[in-house]
Structure 1
């Protein structure tokens, strides 16, 4: 497609918001591997050029989708205590990622400096600053919470149901004695693991 074709492609009745909403529906139906600008165009009943007229490239579409996912985070009724507020924000972040198929993988693969993404980061860093962290500690702790949440949630969304059984069969007590010893604690248990990891990160704030 040439630049001339993109310019000539009319916006028609669509808006960029509508295109991103359709893209999220495709994501929920097909997963990240099945997402494409053509699939979004088919969903909307338009030509692919029309989708590209609004989002320019697939990479840009993914950035806008990632930011739209974070629009699902609500900021009402947050705890008054700073560390409790940070915990609740991280929990809402995780819940929002889980609300979309491959939501964590989508956000992990992008780096959007967009309104909803920036709003979440600002609230989280504000909570960390109010807990007594200095500027560097607040910024780096926010990154750590974000990376931890994305990584664990991506594993949660990708893990097959039988993964625990597969791990149990693979761990031989003779060749993997340490793994075998802690095997009951290596099961999915994503909610508990999230709480444990988040508390471990925020414990530095308490000291």
Structure 2
């Protein structure tokens, strides 16, 4: 697992106190509170008013540090992304991208609705810009055409985001139904097997594989297929 990074708090004006411990209000505290709210209520539950209530301040006090909710979400996305450690230097391009994808998925998996937060915001913070630069540099130095580099980077990022979102959605559904993932898998398999064999023969035959929840294996498989495609494209240019 990637090591968790601790972000230094920004300086705060005197006199703005928050919460029972009277910690001065600053951006890092606001983001940390928003992260807690994300965990408890999900993306739809985040609002400036709720964050202000949790901090024990007026909502207007937040706007001294954060322009609006869009900026807050961008800061939240950057905070989540900061927990993805970059691979060490000197690795082959494919292994470097593989490690980055694995660590990005791990970071997303720590927070509820993290993929949705990422998708709702543009890359603007220091952490996300650093990771975009890493992807661009790795692909460029591997020999991919300049015009292809942004697309390839987006494909890799979107694969991880899509997978993490699906993983979270099914896991939350299992919790919501008070059923384990194993029970949900059995339920889905039985539903597929009850389909018409004349109309859906392959759905029935492959039911056990379709509903499998071996997340790590599935993620590694999809990532490998994606990187195989990258490698084939690169080999075709040589």
Q: TM-score, normalised by structure 2?
A: 0.76
Q: Does the 8 Å contact 1:141/1:201 carry over to 2?
A: no
Structure 2: stretches of 5+ with no match in the other structure:
1-13, 17-23, 175-182, 233-238
Name the counterpart of 2:202.
178
Structure showing the higher helix proportion among its residues: 1
Report whether the alignment pairs 1:192 with 2:203: no
Give the CA RMSD over aligned residues: 2.0
Q: Deviations over 1:54-97 (max 9, x none)?
A: 22221221111011111112225356111100100111111111
Q: Which has the higher contact order (CA 8 A, sep 6+)?
A: 1
Q: TM-score, normalised by structure 1?
A: 0.86
Q: Does the 8 Å contact 2:84/2:104 carry over to 1?
A: yes
Name the counterpart of 1:7.
none
Structure 1: stretches of 5+ with no match in the other structure:
1-9
Give the total of aligned pairs: 198
Q: Deviations over 1:95-121 (max 9, x none)?
A: 111111221121122113221111111
Q: Does the 8 Å contact 2:34/2:51 carry over to 1?
A: yes
1:99 to 110, 113, 128: 110
Report whether the alignment pairs 1:205 with 2:233: no
Deviates more, 1:134-143 or 1:162-171: 162-171
Spell out the pairing of 1:85-164 with structure 2 (5 A cutoff): 85-159=96-170, 160-161=173-174, 162-164=183-185
Shift of 1:169: 3.1
Change (3 A) 1:178 1:50: same
Spell out the pairing of 1:39-78 with structure 2 (5 A cutoff): 39-75=50-86, 77=88
